[in-house]
Amino acid sequence: MKKRIRKAIFPVAGLGTRFLPATKSIPKEMLTVVDRPIVQHVVDEAYEAGIEHCIFVTGRNKSVIEDHFDIAYELEDVLEKRGKLKELQALRADLPKAGAMSFTRQQAPLGLGHAVWCAREIVGDEPFAVVLPDMLTLAAAGRRCLAQCIEAYEKHGGNIIAVEEVAPEETHKYGVVSVGKDYGATFEITGMVEKPKGVAPSNLIISGRYVLSPEIFPILEKGEKGAGGEIQLTDAMKALMGEQAFHGVRFDGKTYDCGSSLGFLIANVAFALANPGLANDFRAQLKNLGVL
Ligand code: UTP
């Protein structure tokens, strides 16, 4: 029987150099898309997918992420005394269950693969999800990307990677997969390459949501460096492909890369237009600006 996916790793130890100076003293994960920090959006996505325990791999200057998920006693007290009960309720609704979040440090930003490896003791011997917090997802309909990945895991088992189509001239910026047996929404992955230099094997890029088996950890433990001199998760997954099945999920929706200013701006527009309480007014303002 397949083990349930209970835990998700959120690697947040990167330096955010593409988004400086915004990220000099504020972690990019704490920048807001519409009215919630990016990190809250991805935790919402994880809960929707049935995740029970969130594991953050943090680095220096990231303690504000931990604070965001803690009780703010003084603030709650003031809200209560001022009768701002709706705001108080909203704060409390986002508070994780006690003990349902863990934080560990990646002492140096040696790469995404290394960040995932840093969570090995907290994950233990069970399959787990990885969520890249700077990639926000909106579903076309129904549940979001991680839920779609876990559904695919329940069907196929093994390892799952969410992918998204990009224009062929964009593939050199991403990890790209090769497609084997194709079932439509899901397919067998027969290979992958990080930032292909020549012709890419497809136009399907790895988009920041994974379900992985714990056998990835001994591979990451070797600390082999790949593209950019970093310990790459893609290289470890490639090595694991020799022993275990990998399936791709064509995510039915769209991913927004919030790691750069342009991607971040587009994410804000898309999330505002998807927000029922804001969409109409926002659209009217865009019209005033001559955008629509
Ligand atoms: P990115 O490369 O997008 O993030 O890594 P970055 O390193 O913060 O950004 P730039 O390129 O300097 O602008 C993808 C995810 O992996 C995490 C990042 O925090 C991000 O969520 N990461 C990356 C780590 O946790 N540790 C690392 O060593 C590298």
Q: Which of 167, 157, 190, 163 is nearest to 175 (CA)?
A: 163
Query: What pLDDT shows up at residue 244?
Result: 96
Q: Which of 65, 103, 112, 207 to mutate to test the pocket of ligand 1 (most atoms within 8 A of CB)?
A: 112
Buried b (16+ CB within 10 A) or exposed e, 234-257: bbbbbbbbeeeebbbbbbebbbbb
Q: What is the pTM of this model?
A: 0.94
Ligand 1: centre distance to CA 12 (Å): 7
Phi, psi dihedral angles at 204 (to 5 degrees): -100, 115
| Residue to probe by mutation, ligand 1, list 9, 15, 41, 234, most atoms within 8 Å of CB | 15
What pLDDT was estimated at residue 44? Answer: 96
Q: Which residue(s) pair with 249 in the sheet?
A: 162, 186
The response to whether residue 216 sits with its C-beta less than 6 Å from ligand 1 reads: no
Check residue 151 and give its pLDDT.
96
Distance CA 228, CA 217 (A): 21
Atom index in ligand 1 nearest the CA of residue 230 equals 28
Per-residue pLDDT averaged across 69-88, rounded? 94
Please tell me if the CB atom of residue 227 comes closer than 6 angstroms to any atom of ligand 1: no
- pLDDT for 198 equals 85
CA of 248 to the centre of ligand 1 (A): 22
Cβ of 207 below 6 Å from ligand 1: no
pLDDT exceeds cutoff 90 at 147? yes
d(CA 192, CA 161): 11
- pLDDT surpasses 80 at 170: yes
Give the number of the atom of ligand 1 that is nearest the alpha carbon of residue 59: 25
Specify the higher pLDDT residue, 226 or 108: 108
Query: Which atom belonging to ligand 1 lies closest to the Cα atom of 13?
Result: 25
Sequence-distant (≥ 6) Cβ neighbours of residue 109 within 8 angstroms? 13, 14, 15, 59, 115
Q: Is 109 in the pocket of ligand 1 (CB under 6 A)?
A: yes
- Which protein residue's CA is at the shortest distance from atom 15 of ligand 1? 132
Distance (angstroms) between ligand 1 centre and the Cα of 14 equals 4
Kindly state if the Cβ of 136 falls inside 6 Å of ligand 1: no
pLDDT band with cut points at 50, 70 and 90 for residue 239 = very high
Band the pLDDT of 290: cuts 50, 70, 90.
Answer: confident
Which residue segments constitute the domains of the chain, with CATH numbers given?
A: 7-259 (3.90.550.10)
Q: Is the CB of 158 under 6 A from ligand 1?
A: no
